Amino acid sequence: MVKTENERRRSSIWFRFHIDVPLMLAILTLMLLSVFVVYSAGGQNIHMALRQVFRLGIGLGVLLIVAQVSPFFYQRWAPHIFVVGVCLLVAVLLFGDMGKGAQRWLNLGVTKFQPSEIMKLSLPMMMAWFLSKYTLPPSTKNTFFSFCIIAIPTLLIAKQPDLGTSLLVASSGFFALFLAGLRFRILFGLGALFAAFLPILWFYLMHAYQKQRVLTFLNPESDPLGSGYHIIQSKIAIGSGGFQGKGWLQGTQSQLEFLPERHTDFIFSVFSEEFGFIGVLLLLAVYAFIIIRGTIIAIRAQEGFTKILAGSLTLTFFVYLFVNIGMVSGLMPVVGVPLPLVSYGGTSIVTLMASFGILMAISTNKRLLAA
Amino acid sequence: MRRGSYHIQDHSAESNLFAQRAIISLFFIGSLMLLLIGNLFYLQISSYNSYQTRSNENRIKVQPIQPNRGVIKDLNGKILAGNEPTFSLEIIPEQIANMDETLAEIGQIIEISDEQIKVFKRAIKYRRRFKGMPLKSKLTDKEVALFSVHQHKFSGVSIEARLARHYPYGEYFTHGVGYVGKINKKDLQRLDDTGQLKNYAATRSIGKIGIERYYESQLHGITGSQEVEVNHRSRVLRQLSVTPPVTGTDLHLAIDVDLQIKAKEIMGDNMGAIIAMDPRDGALLTFYSNPTYDPNLFVNGISQKEYSKIIGSKDKPMLNRVTQGQYPPASTIKPQLGLLALDKGLITVDTTIWDPGYWRIPNIEVQRRFRDWKPQGHGHVNLLMSIKQSCDIFYYDLAYRLGIDNISEFGSKFGFGDYTGVDVFEESTAIMPSRAWKKARFKESWYKGDTISIGIGQGYWTATPVQLAMSTAALVNRGQIVEPRLVTGITKNGVYQATATKHRNPVVLNNDKHWDVILDAMYQTVNASDGTARTAFKDAVYSSAGKTGTAQLFGLDEDEEYNVEDVAERYRDNAMYVGFAPYESPSIVIVVALENAGGGGSHAAPIARKILDLYFGLGLAGKRDLTNTTLPPVDAN
């Protein structure tokens, strides 16, 4: 019976075009939602909403294209892509354009481009490639090498500085390692080490503005009109949404512009204000569905590389979600991470859609081992 | 292949390991999801009320609405102080990134003086930065149009229409009506102390002097409020609810605009005061202090230059000479002193004294001669003659015999040396001298010699014109003391109500006939062929009575002659006149005080005559209906 279902799936048109229907439906749901929320958050600016539609369209295109590529292509090229990615990150530090106080962009003449976005995909691939070369769980030596691989892009991105992306990149690498069977002994040991490292991070590595964010996170009301303003207004927006929300386009915090960064990082606050707790639950349900679906794809994948890659991408998607919502609702310090697939903005959507493309490719490219 | 088989061999183990790790991850994710949901539940459900409130506090602001200030009207309902729409260029400092640049850019469109910039910059230091502050007031239509074209370039700069106080008759009414000016620190303190600060939340101006200040609390009205929705820049988006303000009370005066205007013309270059009062109810009919100045200059903040010009003038235009001018009453108080002596029994109507032109204190070794204004003397003088010819010797003698205590007590009963209660705060008590007063003032005892000049209303004795009006009205009313007042009625919520006259303890005589003696003497002063005011009132079509007064400001040695040509202007005599008309049933008391003008009969009386001529000529004599208390004298419209 399982077999017949598998056969039915494989013969379907969706399968032929490497589309995972449940995942696709969930993504389309979020996209549709995104257009409406962006329209509201942007002060009912139809042009902004249309630009978002356009970007989502591009993202969808990227997804469809990426989905057609065999995962084994990535496996073959993973180390090369990774090396190129690291080189680009170095280039950013040397020649990059400044924007909002950070050096993140590489100007290619025709277009600007953020190499750290490549790393969001490249590092999981690299990790999956490296780990799947050897027996799982990885040996202590390989674990050490893995951490080196993670550290290189993470530190380069953190240096830009782009704390949010470096966090996402680091966690994607870490998830790969975890899924590959990182020993719990090492995990807890590292946890302890990290805790010990925190003071060094605080006193020597963090920028003043990053420290301020942490301090503000700990007590936003200490500076309600300054650094605490964002988070306070965000919590007011979310809290005042109540159970049912104020209704679409009716959120006073967002429509009257008390809420900053409404259409980008704080779009969840807009959504929460207008759709309330019930809307939030439904939204989280869609995200949970995507994560579960991604995990199922990872478990069903037949190769170590595809398993680890799919799992890492899925878990990283959750990190996006958790960091963004945690940030706007006051659980975490403010780090610039968009709400995946909903926030207004080009690069992150393309990267995310590419990662879903990879997931779909993995889900629909199963080498029949028996054959 | 070895590697391949090895791989395949471990494949199932690896799959299990991976699945196990994936499940662990899902549990981990699930618990973090629950953490998020828990936190959102806390924000949206548990703390909903608190955040709902804070959200509303963000967007809903309560704004005060300024009430319209009550207007001040004359006898005929003509507006003396009204509200006029004016356009002013206002800047919200908070919304300006570079103030100097913005000011320079505005300056290229409409003319802004350095003075205006200076005043503006000083003002914004003390104001809340999100409130509009006027840069230039009273924009012309052209300026409004010019700026409107460029409005889009300036956010935070706008043209605001508001009602501003306007005094159509300007300088004619400055000292009585007063004016409003911008609320300053001192005003704020006073408002705070009296608990009225909240009611002034939207108000920019406050009464500074005159009626505008005295009746501030009634004129102001009650501030309304509106709840508005604002965006994060505090820009008002819509009104949610409104409590309308209550317009201030209108005030009605008994002054006739035309008579007041004539009073200024008649005064000409003379410095001094003209005050006319209805002795029946204390209503002031003319209230003019010269020189004067334009009250409209103060409404929107006077420029330093203009202010220096007014405050720096040696003629002291800001002095309210009607209520603050302290003049020796001179001979104008002779009727009161004669009355006192008569009623005390010191003299009778038939008592005469010999006036050789001078008087000496009896029984004193070192003799100083007190001189009569008439060097050769008046000869035999009785009470009637002493008033109509204003004999000084008669009153030196009376003062000497009455003593300062009697004079001081009697003078005080007529209101000298005290506030009259007139409804402006700018009032001085002047001086009704007494032993106690001299002790306190100079730490010296009262000497007999001090009393002699008091007899002719000089020496330490000073009085304000409004006191003279009140004391003359007291004579007219046979002892009834009526307090003078500018405001005779109010219109509140559309209903007119006359305000009550204030009375004081009357002056009671032993014999009421004595009033008639004195009033008759004052009649003779004006009408008898040898009366000092006879020339001034020749051929008047109405009957009147009065008393002239000439105050020497220049002490002459006993042998010196007073020569107008030799005396510097500021030492020339003050001319005084008090009078009333018609004699039979007086409806007007007039007081004229002229500084350094010359004789009372020759200078002050003719001015009083002109005012009385106009009073009767303009038909004002029968105009005031004192029995009516609920209808405005004349409908304003």
Q: What does the pLDDT profile of chain A (371 residues) look like in tens digits? A: 455 666 666 667 888 888 999 999 999 999 999 999 999 998 888 999 999 999 999 999 999 999 999 998 999 999 999 999 999 999 888 877 666 566 667 766 555 678 888 899 999 999 999 999 988 888 889 999 999 999 999 999 988 878 788 888 999 999 999 999 988 888 898 889 888 888 887 887 777 777 777 777 777 777 777 667 888 999 999 999 999 999 999 999 988 888 988 888 899 999 999 999 999 999 999 999 999 999 999 999 988 899 999 999 999 999 989 999 999 998 888 777 889 999 997 678 899 999 999 999 999 886 544 33
| Nearest CA-CA distance, residue A141 and chain B, Å | 19
Closest CA to A311 of A129, A140, A180: A180
Residue A139 belongs to some domain of the structure: yes
How many helices and strands in chain A, by DSSP H and E?
15, 3
Token code pair at residue B541: 């079509």
Sign of torsion over alpha carbons B606, B611, B612, B613: positive
Crossing angle between the packed helical segments A21-41 and A46-68, to the nearest 10 degrees: 160
Same domain, A119 and A200: yes
- Give CA–CA dist B125/B147, Å, rounded: 25
Best residue in B50, B51, B130 for a mutation probing chain A (most A CBs within 10 Å): B51
Same domain, A338 and A241: yes
Residue B67's Cβ-side half-sphere holds a number of Cα atoms within 13 Å equal to 25
Q: Report yes or no: B371 and B358 within 8 Å, Cβ to Cβ.
A: yes
Name the domain count of chain A. Answer: 2
Same domain, A229 and A340: yes
- Give CA–CA dist A53/A24, Å, rounded: 16
- Give CA–CA dist B604/B27, Å, rounded: 107
Same domain, A158 and A202: yes
Same domain, A265 and A323: yes
Q: What is the pLDDT of residues A207-237, one digit of tens each?
A: 777 777 777 777 777 777 766 788 899 999 9
Burial of B305 (0-12, 13-18, 19+ CB in 10 A): exposed
Beta B250-253 vs B72-73: how paired, if at all? parallel
Q: Which of A178, A206, A234 is the last residue of a domain?
A: A206
- Measured between CB atoms, does A127 come within 8 Å of chain B? no
Q: Which of A206, A233, A256 is the last residue of a domain?
A: A206
Same domain, A36 and A82: no
Which residue in this structure is represented by tokens 């001319």?
A: B575
Same domain, A195 and A265: no
Q: Report yes or no: B229 and B237 within 8 Å, Cβ to Cβ.
A: yes
**Domain of A119?**
72-206
Same domain, A346 and A263: yes
- Measured between CB atoms, does A175 come within 8 Å of chain B? yes
Beta B369-371 vs B487-492: how paired, if at all? unpaired
Residue A211 belongs to some domain of the structure: no
Residue A214 belongs to some domain of the structure: no
Q: Which of A206, A233, A261 is the last residue of a domain?
A: A206
Contact A239 B15 (CB under 8 A): no
Coil vs helix vs strand at B384: helix
Residue A217 belongs to some domain of the structure: no
Same domain, A23 and A47: yes
Which among B88, B205, B289, B331 is annotated as catalytic? B331
List of residues 6+ apart from A221 with CB closer than 8 A: A228, A232
Quick check: is B331 catalytic? yes
Q: What is the pLDDT of residues B368-385, one digit of tens each?
A: 788 888 888 889 999 999
Residue A336 belongs to some domain of the structure: yes
Contact A322 B32 (CB under 8 A): yes
The distance between the two most distant Cα atoms of chain B, rounded to a whole number of Å, is 160
Same domain, A242 and A176: no
* C-alpha separations of A315 from A146, A169, A291, B207 in Å: 18, 11, 7, 72
Same domain, A55 and A84: no
Residue A213 belongs to some domain of the structure: no
Residue A212 belongs to some domain of the structure: no
The answer to whether the pTM exceeds 0.80 is no
Residue A351 belongs to some domain of the structure: yes
Same domain, A91 and A136: yes
Closest CA to A167 of A308, A299, A326: A326
- Measured between CB atoms, does A140 come within 8 Å of chain B? no
